Amino acid sequence: MQTSELYRLLGINLDLAVEAHDLLRGETGREIPGVKMDEDTFDNCSIRTITILNEQGEQIMRRQQGTYITLETEALRVNNKIVHKEIGEILAKCLNKVLPLKDDSSILVVGLGNWNATPDSLGPKVINSSMATRHLFHYAPVELQQGLRPVSVMAPGVLGLTGIETAEIIKGTVDRVQPDVVICIDSLAAGSVERINASIQISDTGISPGSGIGNKRMGINPESMGVPVIAIGVPTVVQAGIIAHQTMEQLFNHLNANPSLQDLYMRLQPIAINEMIAKVLEPFGGQLTVTPKEIDEQITNTARVIAMALALALHPGMPLDEVEHYLH
């Protein structure tokens, strides 16, 4: 039974491109046509860049052509400001690779998510730590504008709080403010518990809010916004169905010494496993997401790292040794 088939039956969509890439390459045992992967390693993190080159890669990966950069590190889970600053600097360089900016470009930074739900509060918390500068270009002396770009920030909330599609709020702001690029920050759903708050994905294809947990919303992408859209996402939850499946795999792998039990697992039909998992999750309508109890502190740390990276990437005159003073 292939894991991808089970995910399809469970209605699970992998938000992280590296997880989809690893899954497909592991099942086929070969490189994916139309997809290129590059890797870089640093002291406290590693970078994997997935580039979907053509329509063939797009169809296999089930996501748009473009660049998906994933910074992978477990250091986000611990409170180490020195390491976090190093990660923020590396993340800023990753952002510069996909941001189509000129010296006078204006930027709209949007924190997606629900500030009342901790696992979904990453976007608003990044906004709380970020520095808005657009007003300086209208009301402040020219001296204060040196080395800065006009940046607007907003946290539009979610449909359940506002009654308005988030993409509609952002589109209205884009039409009025007319930024050159939109940057969206959102919480994602992981394909394994190891990735919760241990990966930061940057993509130049936009974002579909709620897709990882089965909520289909209007996309926030270059087509709908009319300007380039860069998405920054961090996995903060994992679906319980995935955990149940991985637990079953671990059990049968542990009993691998007994060929009859291993053969039994291989003979199980995907629909049977799906029915077992669905029965366990039935009290929750088949949808249950899990997050660690330390998520509030981890979200706060990660939000500041992303806000630091944004400050460095968006403002060319930002002093590297003073960037923390510009965070709220």
pLDDT at 212: 47
Whether 40 is covered by a domain: the verdict is no
Cα–Cα distance measured from residue 303 to residue 308, given in angstroms and rounded to the nearest whole number: 9
Residue 314 — very low, low, confident or very high, per pLDDT cuts 50/70/90? very high
Distances (CA, A) of 239 to 15, 112, 184, 284, 289: 12, 20, 23, 12, 4
Least confident piece of the model among 47-61, 177-191, 246-260: 246-260
Query: Which residue, 186, 176, 162, is CA-closest to 134?
Result: 176
pLDDT tops 90 at residue 29:
no
Query: Which residue, 160, 166, 248, 235, is CA-closest to 194?
Result: 235
Cα–Cα distance measured from residue 135 to residue 277, given in angstroms and rounded to the nearest whole number: 52
Whether 79 is covered by a domain: the verdict is no
Whether 30 is covered by a domain: the verdict is no
Q: Considering all CA atoms of the chain, what is the largest pairwise distance in Å, rounded to the nearest integer?
A: 78
User: Is residue 126 a contact partner of residue 185, using CB atoms and an 8 Å limit?
Assistant: yes
Least confident piece of the model among 57-66, 172-181, 318-327: 318-327
Mean pLDDT of 64-70: 96
Residue 219: both structure tokens together: 């996309």
| H or E stretch at 276 | helix 270-280
Q: What is the mean pLDDT of the chain?
A: 85
Backbone angles phi, psi at 64, to 5 degrees: -70, 155
Whether 94 is covered by a domain: the verdict is no
Whether 49 is covered by a domain: the verdict is no
Rounded to 10 degrees, the C-alpha dihedral 271/274/275/279 comes to 180
Provide the CATH number for the domain around residue 265. Answer: 3.40.50.1450
Mean pLDDT of 289-318: 92
pLDDT at 205: 94
Whether 259 is covered by a domain: the verdict is yes
Whether 47 is covered by a domain: the verdict is no
User: Is residue 308 a contact partner of residue 323, using CB atoms and an 8 Å limit?
Assistant: yes
Cα–Cα distance measured from residue 310 to residue 296, given in angstroms and rounded to the nearest whole number: 21
| pTM, full prediction | 0.87
pLDDT at 56: 94
pLDDT tens per residue, range 204-246: 999 976 554 555 567 899 999 999 999 999 999 988 777 777 7
Instruction: Give the residue numbers spanning the domain of 153.
Output: 105-304
pLDDT at 168: 94
pLDDT at 14: 82
Cα–Cα distance measured from residue 308 to residue 301, given in angstroms and rounded to the nearest whole number: 11
Whether 78 is covered by a domain: the verdict is no
What's the domain count of the chain? 1
pLDDT tens per residue, range 92-149: 999 999 999 998 899 999 999 999 999 999 999 999 999 899 988 876 556 556 778 9
Mean pLDDT of 242-257: 70
